[in-house]
Amino acid sequence: MILCADIGGTNARLALAKPGTAELSGEKHYACGEYSGLAPILADYLAIAGCQPTAACLAVAGPIAEDGQQARLTNLPWFIDTQQLARLVNIPSVRLVNDFAAAAMGVTAASDDTMVTLQAGSPLPTAPRLVIGAGTGLGMALLIPEGKRWRVLPGEGGHVGLSPQNTGQLAIWRALHDLHGRVTAERAISGPGLTAIHRILSGQTTTPEEIAHLALVDDNLPARQSIDMFLEFYGAIAGDMAMLALARGGVFLAGGIAPRLLPLFAASPFLAAFNAKAEHEVLARQMPVRVVADPQLGLKGAALLAGP
């Protein structure tokens, strides 16, 4: 068996998989903030699983070193070294991949019943696909078709500069700039970004989960305004990245936030912002846009990236 892990800034999900497949078993979740690093999580999981995998593929939220053996997580004070981990948990081969590389590969194994179409577009099966997702941070990766297989190109598009497109967005940008200096897309399009937008617009500081709850259950106007601003930023950057890659194969919204906000997308400015590409609006409208609600996306991708 192969040990697969999807390690974000908030949660770590672990499972076992048969080599060369996305068939998962023994899935277990951990709250990252309760642990000093990844090794104690892996040790606990293996003790519970009662087996010793022959290999591990760990999808982590952060850039991977050039040698592929080390990573420093973007939103956690964790440094991961594969050789050290292999010794500590007695697994012969440990591989690191970017978490959105895994999410992207997971899209190739996700079933249609885990996806919701926001824009049908006119998909081209041989064109690149963009996978983008807001959670603790903002991740992005591309899927490039190579014959009957897919090649994953991970990126750090969440750290490109945020470009305000109207006066409302400019006010948010200015407030974020006062706090952080350079304003990246992730400053607005993430869980902490939603909290920041809500604080700027309403003067209230609360969690992204509570903001979503107020907008969904109570139809709270300040919360709904904050989410509309969040989704407008989200749509704009997703459209910009899709134009950059000419993602006629489709744009897939992963991460934890989009599935939670699904009932709000239709009446939100997301698609208008996605398609607002001036003379290239027709091209933007040809790109399919789908929300992926498969919670095992990263684990399935890690299993496939582990190889046979």
Nearest to 305 by CA among 129, 146, 105: 105
Nearest to 56 by CA among 11, 101, 87, 10: 87
Per-residue pLDDT tens for 198-234? 999 999 999 999 999 999 987 779 999 999 999 999 9
| 268 and 125, same domain (yes or no) | yes
Using pLDDT thresholds of 50, 70 and 90, give the confidence band for residue 99.
confident
Instruction: Return the amino acid letter for 192.
Output: P
| pLDDT for res 190 | 95
Does 116 map to a domain?
Answer: no
| pLDDT for res 226 | 96
pLDDT at 124 over 90: yes
| 134 and 94, same domain (yes or no) | no
| pLDDT for res 279 | 95
Does 113 map to a domain?
Answer: no
Does 191 map to a domain?
Answer: yes
Does 226 map to a domain?
Answer: yes
Q: Which one of 95-99, 109-113, 175-179 scores highest in mean pLDDT?
A: 175-179
| 243 and 145, same domain (yes or no) | yes
| 269 and 136, same domain (yes or no) | yes
Domain that holds residue 250: 121-287
| 126 and 97, same domain (yes or no) | no
**Alpha-carbon span 110 to 116, nearest angstrom:** 12
| 179 and 45, same domain (yes or no) | no
> Average pLDDT in the 265-273 region?
95
| 39 and 161, same domain (yes or no) | no
Does 292 map to a domain?
Answer: no
Does 80 map to a domain?
Answer: yes
| 30 and 134, same domain (yes or no) | no
| 178 and 130, same domain (yes or no) | yes
Query: The CATH number of the domain where 34 resides is what?
Result: 3.30.420.40
pLDDT at 308 over 80: no
Does 14 map to a domain?
Answer: yes
Domain count across the chain: 2
| 243 and 139, same domain (yes or no) | yes
| 225 and 153, same domain (yes or no) | yes
Query: The CATH number of the domain where 158 resides is what?
Result: 3.40.367.20
| 29 and 151, same domain (yes or no) | no
pTM: 0.88
